[in-house]
């Protein structure tokens, strides 16, 4: 289940960039 953390970091990075 290493794809979950990757997606989380992806959406979190976009949210923080906002």
pTM of the complete model: 0.13
Predicted confidence at residue 12, as pLDDT, reads 92
Predicted confidence at residue 7, as pLDDT, reads 85
CA distance 13 to 9: 6
Find the DSSP H helices in the chain. 3-17
- pLDDT tens readout for residues 1-18: 567 888 889 899 999 998
Would you state the structure tokens that stand for residue 1, as one six-digit string?
A: 């289940």
Look at the block and give the residue holding tokens 């992806």: 10
């Amino acid at each position: 289940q290493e794809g979950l953390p990757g997606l989380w970091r992806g959406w979190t990075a976009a949210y923080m960039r906002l």
